[in-house]
Every structure is written in C-alpha cells, then in structure tokens.
C-alpha cells in the first residue's frame, strides 16, 4: 500500500514581544538551544529500542477516542492467530446481522447491504466486461488437452508452493487479546500493561521480553507514518471529491487492512480486497498524487467514484473495527 501523511492542526502563535534594550537576551537563546537539543537527541534514543525489537508504537484515532497500541510484522509461519471464538459470541455486528441503529433519529441503517447494493450498481458495467473476459478464458482453457495423472501432480505442486509462499509472507500482528485490539489512552497505561505480564498476542514474539524490560513511557512516541486518523475518514468522504484528502484516505486503507488481518475480520478484508469499489478508490487516490499522465488519469477515475458509496463503506469498516476495541485507561 502507499505511504501516508496525517492531517495537521495549525495552532496560531503570537509573536513574542521584543525585550527592552537593557534586558539581556541570554535566556531566550539558552531556551531555544535547549529545545533544539531535545528535538535532536530524543528521537534517536526512542527509536533504538523499537528497531532492536522490531515492534512499533502506533496511535489510532477512532470516533470513541485516540489510543496507543503496538504493531509488528512477522512471517506468517511464526505467528499463532488471535483467538476470536469468545469475541464472536458477543460480536454486536453478528448478533444484529450488521444492523446499526442510529439513536439520534431512530433510523435503522443496514450498512453492509446498502454498501453492497450501491457498489453493485456502480460496478455493473465492469462486471459485465469481466464476465466476457472470464468466458473467453474458460473457452481457451477448454481447448487445452488434459494429460491423465498430470493435473493431480501439478495441483499438488502448486498447493505446496502456495503454502510455502503464504508461510514466508510477512503479516501484521497487533497488541491484541482474544480477538480484540487493546488501545491505551496514555503511554503510561500502555507501559504498565506491558510490564504486568498480562496475556496478549504479541507476547509470542521472541523480542517481547526485552521490550517489557526496557520500555519507558517516553519511548511511546509513534512516527508520523504510524499515526492514523480513522475518525476523520467518513466526514472527509462526505465532503465530496474536491475535499478528499488522499494521504488521510490512503493511510486509513493501510491500517484497516492490517487490523482486519490481525483481528480476523473477513468482512472488512472483503470490502478492501482487490477489485472492490474501495480498492478502486485507493488505487485512484494513489494515482492522483503522482504527476504527469498517471496523476491526471487518477483524478479522472476519482470523479467516477460515488461519494455516498465510499462514505457508507468506510462507515461500516470503522464501525466493525471500533466494535472489537478494548479500551484501557
């Protein structure tokens, strides 16, 4: 997926008053120098630990608030997926068949079905074209003469290759437990949890003990690329094509895919899968930020994507992720 940047809040600052002619300016100079020293020294010290353990602090903003967690990437064969059995028994989305009641106006919105219907309407022409291509390929395959015994052997070889490739692929794993994402409102609460030895899915990593022994609250300072604002996505999409923030939306897609994989949310993975309307949105956004002909074509593609479909789809995604968050103070 592409790179991401985050929405910044501009803070107006008043210009400092000029000191009197007789007043020395030594204090201001010393303060500025001290600030510069902190900005230069701290990040290097903070990142050293994270680089060694190959785990990163992450900050995620959701409609319910903003929290800190951890994420790592490891080979799929090294990881035991989070256990979702207990979570799915109490999953509000499953229990209510993906029906969300809007309390403010008592309106019932069936998010998944609405999104699917809108997506189907927009993609109807593309599906027809794909069907023709698939029929052509099927006819071509039917012309190939099968050799007895070879098909079974080839299928076994391909299955073994696929298994090896899947096992070697690096996949995301978060600070989760029993299918729920653990989000902490402060760095201190995150560190306290890690040091407590409480069960979680990251404890299976070989570097976990080292992190738990060395981590300090000051180390929990996520990089810009590890800070995500899912709480802003739906409103941004509702603003219309001209208001869409490519960086915000691309970043949201990246972390949503990671979370959906780590938390075993197949519905979210399907909504963001290759060929889906939201994946088309992601590709068009990535193309639009490039210069030249590619950027021009990307912007043209964006104009054809329905804002209602995109916002409704992302509303569903953010809702499903929020439903499996375990907030910790």
pLDDT digits (tens, 9 = 90+) for 217-251: 999 999 999 999 999 999 999 999 999 999 999 99
Rounded to whole angstroms, the Cα distance separating 157 from 142 reads 22
Rounded to whole angstroms, the Cα distance separating 232 from 239 reads 11
Q: Which of 88-102, 109-123, 187-201 has the highest mean pLDDT?
A: 187-201
With a CB cutoff of 8 Å and minimum separation 6, the contacts of 235 are: none
Cβ neighbours of 239 (radius 10 Å): 13
Is 163 among the domain residues? no
Is 157 among the domain residues? no
Higher pLDDT, 311 or 23: 311
pLDDT value at position 111?
54
Buried b (16+ CB within 10 A) or exposed e, 147-182: eeeeeeeeeeeeeeeeeeeeeeeebbbbbbbebbbb
Tally the C-alpha atoms within 13 A of residue 138's C-alpha that lie toward its C-beta: 6
pLDDT value at position 55?
98
pLDDT value at position 178?
96
Is 12 among the domain residues? no
Is 290 among the domain residues? yes
With a cut of 60, say whether residue 174 has pLDDT above it: yes
Is 119 among the domain residues? yes
**Dihedral sign for Cα atoms in the order 160, 162, 163, 164:** positive
Is 151 among the domain residues? no
Domain that holds residue 180: 41-144+170-328
Only one residue has tokens 């054809």, namely 304
pLDDT in tens, 47-102: 999 999 999 999 999 999 999 999 999 999 999 999 999 998 876 555 554 444 34
Rounded to whole angstroms, the Cα distance separating 262 from 178 reads 11
The total domain count for the chain is 1
pLDDT value at position 54?
97
With a CB cutoff of 8 Å and minimum separation 6, the contacts of 313 are: 115, 119, 271, 277, 278
Is 207 among the domain residues? yes
């Amino acid at each position: 997926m592409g790179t991401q940047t985050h929405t910044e809040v501009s803070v107006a600052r008043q210009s400092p008053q000029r000191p009197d002619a007789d007043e020395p300016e030594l204090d201001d100079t010393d303060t500025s120098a001290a600030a510069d020293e902190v900005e230069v020294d701290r990040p290097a010290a903070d990142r050293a630990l994270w680089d060694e353990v190959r785990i990163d602090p992450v900050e995620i903003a959701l409609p319910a608030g903003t929290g800190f967690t951890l994420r790592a990437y490891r080979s799929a064969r090294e990881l035991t997926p989070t256990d979702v059995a207990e979570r799915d028994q109490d999953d509000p989305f499953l229990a209510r068949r993906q029906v969300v009641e809007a309390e403010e106006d008592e309106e019932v919105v069936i998010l998944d079905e609405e999104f699917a219907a809108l997506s189907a309407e927009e993609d109807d022409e593309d599906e027809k074209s794909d069907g023709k291509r698939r029929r052509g390929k099927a006819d071509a395959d039917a012309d190939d003469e099968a050799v007895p015994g070879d098909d079974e052997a080839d299928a076994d070889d391909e299955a073994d290759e696929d298994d090896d490739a899947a096992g070697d692929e690096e996949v995301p794993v978060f600070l989760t437990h029993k299918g729920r994402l653990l989000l902490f409102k402060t760095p201190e609460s995150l560190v306290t949890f890690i040091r407590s030895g409480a069960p979680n899915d990251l404890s299976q990593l070989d570097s976990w003990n080292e992190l738990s022994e060395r981590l300090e609250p000051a180390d929990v300072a996520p990089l810009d690329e590890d800070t995500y604002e899912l709480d802003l996505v739906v409103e941004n999409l509702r603003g219309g094509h001209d208001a869409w923030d490519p960086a915000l939306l691309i970043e949201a897609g990246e972390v949503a895919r990671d979370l959906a994989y780590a938390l075993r949310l197949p519905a979210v993975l399907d909504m963001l899968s290759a060929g889906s309307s939201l994946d088309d949105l992601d590709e068009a956004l990535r193309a639009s930020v490039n210069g030249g002909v590619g950027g021009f074509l990307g912007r043209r593609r964006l104009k054809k994507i329905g804002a209602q479909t995109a916002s409704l789809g992302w509303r569903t995604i953010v809702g499903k992720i929020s439903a499996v968050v375990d907030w910790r103070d």
